Amino acid sequence: SGIPSSEGNFSGPSVQELVPGDMMEIHRGLYCHWALYVGDGDVVHVTSSAGKLDGTFSPGGKVVVKREKLEMVVSSDRCEVNNALDRKYQPRGTDYDYHLLLENCEHFVTLLRYGKEESRQVRSLFWTAVGAAGSAGVAVLLYRGH
């Protein structure tokens, strides 16, 4: 029960069956391509910097991260949901614990981009507060010494 593509030969699960976060395994003969379902029929995946993998294997090179329609990425290949690592790891899902200072939206996007959670604005706020506290402490000491 696949969704039809513009070519009419898409072979995969229907969009109604998919949940954001599902790992899509796309069978391409000798290897499988992988993409992450993000909703609305779209996946995020890596592809050649030219924008399309031509089916030839290359052990390295430049790639880009793209959001595209699942049916366009799959084309005439076969795909399926493969969340097999759910037995080994806890899936993150689409829920994210939020804390203004410890896990905010900047932490989230730096985690995705760099693999590290960091918030420069929180760090700046911290050092501003430390500086203000230090200045206040110096003012108290000067006042007492007067």
45 is a catalytic site residue: yes
Q: Is the separation of the CB atoms in 22 and 38 below 8 Å?
A: no
* 53 contacts 72 by C-beta, under 8 angstroms: no
Q: Say which of 45, 99, 107, 146 is annotated catalytic.
A: 45
99 is annotated as an active-site residue:
no
Question: Residue 50: which region, alpha, beta or left (left: phi > 0; alpha: psi -120 to 50)?
Answer: alpha
What is Dmax (Cα atoms) for the chain?
A: 86
Question: For residue range 101-143, what is the model confidence (pLDDT) as tens digits?
Answer: 888 888 877 887 788 889 888 888 877 887 777 776 666 666 6
Q: Residue 85 has what pLDDT?
A: 93
Computed over every residue of the chain, the mean pLDDT equals 80
72 has a pLDDT exceeding 70 = yes
Q: What pTM was estimated for this model as a whole?
A: 0.64
Among the listed residues 27, 32, 79, 105, the single catalytic one is 105
* Whole-angstrom distance, CA of residue 46 vs CA of residue 26: 13
Predicted local distance difference test score (pLDDT) of residue 127: 79
Whether 105 sits among the annotated catalytic residues: the reply is yes
